[in-house]
């Protein structure tokens, strides 16, 4: 767990939700996974403003991450589908 730094500005979750439009749950997942730096005080999270700015500056694609294709199946064209002519 990271401690509180005296030179960095801390923002409460409510302020971050209003500023970014992200849900409280999403903000908490970002904090728990370490993608945004912050500290937990009781039930509430406080995040560092510079860490939030760095996260928001990163280019991201909207939506769910695309599933990785299995390279051996993709290269051979083989599937478990009995109706597939290539199998």
> What whole-number distance in Å separates Cα of residue 87 and Cα of residue 78?
5
**Residue 25: in which H helix or E strand, if any?**
helix 24-33
**Does 22 score more than 50 pLDDT?**
yes
What is the strand order of the sheet 38-41 is part of?
A: 10-12, 44-48, 38-41
9-32: average pLDDT? 94
Give the domain ranges of the chain.
10-58
**Does 74 score more than 70 pLDDT?**
no
> What whole-number distance in Å separates Cα of residue 15 and Cα of residue 9?
12
Pairing of strands 10-12, 44-48: antiparallel
**Does 83 score more than 70 pLDDT?**
no
Q: What percent of the chain has pLDDT over 90?
A: 53
């Amino acid at each position: 767990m990271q401690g509180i730094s005296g030179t960095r500005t801390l923002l409460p979750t409510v302020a971050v939700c209003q500023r970014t439009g992200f849900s409280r749950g999403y903000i908490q997942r970002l904090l728990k996974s370490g993608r945004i730096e912050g500290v937990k005080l009781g039930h509430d999270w406080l995040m560092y403003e510079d860490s939030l700015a760095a996260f928001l500056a990163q280019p991201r694609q909207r939506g769910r991450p695309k599933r990785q294709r299995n390279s051996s199946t993709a290269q051979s064209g083989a599937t478990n589908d009995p109706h597939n002519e290539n199998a």
